[in-house]
């Protein structure tokens, strides 16, 4: 046991080794703070700040509320604290994890992601924010530095691969990667993974150095993803043309008579494959892949293709948009009656801004002007 320290510190806690046998032989007392304190007493140090319960003004006769969100903000996190967290998690009501500006050691980050995927937990919301640096051999290296592209490229590639692994395999409903400066190539890969993801409802890629290069992949993802409801793309470099492309991939799109004929042909072919697969399954033979087909709806004798009807909120604040995006936003609202968009306060002309602010307008209360 180390000499007892009054305050938590990264280096001595990282250097200590809590063996798995210690967790296996410990019988939990059922009181969160006491159980946590036991392990840090072994290390000889105060508990990590993330275990501090927020102060509430409560009846002193009542127990304080159980911790539901574990937050590590502006603090490094050692391997033993991670071990303690994942030992405690199954017996808590914690469903939300936030790691903000932590200067991660890549091995500790790998332990975190693998534990989220492999160890029992009820984490459904995960935030990895403003973590654009890794601590490598005691030096903080930024993802945008030359060293990150050359000498330390393997570390940042490993970090991104772990994030991809998390998106591909987890049960998360919310993922926040705000301020990580991941760039276009990483975003394209994330969008490709999200095409098949059926759990994530909220996604934040705010401030990730994203440009129009990755926007086609974003639009393509919207064609196949059926879960996303809220997307934050603020503080990137998306322009008016991106908004124009977006309108073609959301909501109800009016179909021409020729498109309806083509759609019905594909629907019959798809139904035939499904019917054939029933027989193949009975014969225990490999089934054929069923092609994806969007929903078609008919409203007052007009046929519409319905694309991504579940997406309700998109944030485009702090992007280089101009008044030219006005018509595209109108088209998006017409196609998506429940869509809500955030843009900057200063990009639209007064005339166009008033079209959204007029309480008599059908577009009233559909847009938020960020200041």
- What residue ranges do the domains of the chain occupy? 73-252+309-370, 254-307
**How far is it, in rounded angstroms, from Cα 324 to Cα 320?**
11
Q: How far are the Cα atoms of 166, 168, 183, 288, 319 from residue 163, in angstroms, in the given order? A: 5, 9, 14, 32, 25
- In CATH terms, the fold of domain 73-252+309-370 is 3.80.10
Angle between helices 79-88 and 106-118 (to 10 degrees): 10
Q: What is the pTM of this model?
A: 0.87
What pLDDT, in 10s, does the model give residues 85-106?
999 999 889 999 999 999 999 9
What pLDDT, in 10s, does the model give residues 248-304?
888 887 889 999 999 999 999 999 999 999 999 999 999 999 888 888 888 888 888
Q: Give the list of residues 6+ apart from residue 294 with CB closer than 8 angstroms, or none.
A: 223, 305, 306, 307
């Amino acid at each position: 046991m180390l000499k007892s320290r009054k305050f938590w510190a990264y280096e001595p806690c990282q250097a200590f080794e809590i063996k798995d046998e210690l967790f296996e032989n410990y019988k939990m007392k059922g009181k969160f703070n006491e159980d946590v304190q036991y392990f840090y007493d072994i290390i000889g140090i105060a508990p990590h700040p993330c275990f501090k319960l927020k102060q509430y003004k409560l009846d002193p006769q009542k127990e304080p509320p159980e911790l539901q969100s574990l937050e590590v903000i502006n603090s490094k996190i050692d391997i033993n604290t991670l071990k303690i967290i994942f030992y405690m998690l199954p017996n808590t009501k914690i469903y939300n994890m936030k790691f903000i500006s932590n200067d991660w050691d890549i091995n500790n980050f790998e332990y975190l992601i693998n534990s989220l995927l492999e160890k029992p937990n009820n984490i459904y919301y995960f935030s990895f924010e403003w973590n654009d640096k890794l601590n490598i051999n005691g030096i903080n290296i930024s993802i945008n530095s030359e060293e990150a592209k050359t000498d330390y490229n393997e570390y940042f590639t490993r970090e991104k691969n772990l994030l991809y692994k998390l998106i591909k395999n987890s049960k998360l409903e919310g993922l926040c990667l705000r301020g990580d400066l991941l760039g276009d190539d990483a975003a394209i890969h994330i969008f490709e993974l999200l095409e098949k993801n059926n759990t994530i409802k909220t996604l934040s890629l705010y401030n990730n150095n994203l440009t129009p290069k990755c926007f086609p992949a974003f639009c393509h993802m919207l064609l196949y993803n059926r879960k996303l409801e809220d997307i934050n793309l603020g503080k990137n470099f998306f322009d008016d043309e991106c908004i124009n492309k977006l309108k073609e991939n959301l909501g109800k799109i009016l179909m021409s008579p020729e498109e309806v004929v083509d759609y019905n042909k594909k629907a019959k072919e798809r139904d035939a494959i499904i019917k054939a697969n029933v027989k193949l399954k009975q014969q225990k033979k490999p089934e054929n892949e069923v092609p994806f087909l969007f929903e078609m709806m008919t409203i007052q004798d007009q046929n519409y293709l319905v694309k991504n009807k579940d997406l309700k909120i998109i944030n485009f604040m702090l992007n280089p948009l101009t008044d030219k995006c006005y018509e595209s936003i109108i088209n998006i609202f017409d196609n998506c009656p429940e869509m809500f968009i955030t843009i900057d306060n200063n990009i639209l002309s007064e005339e166009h801004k008033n079209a959204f602010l007029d309480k008599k307008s059908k577009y009233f209360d559909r847009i938020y002007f960020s200041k």
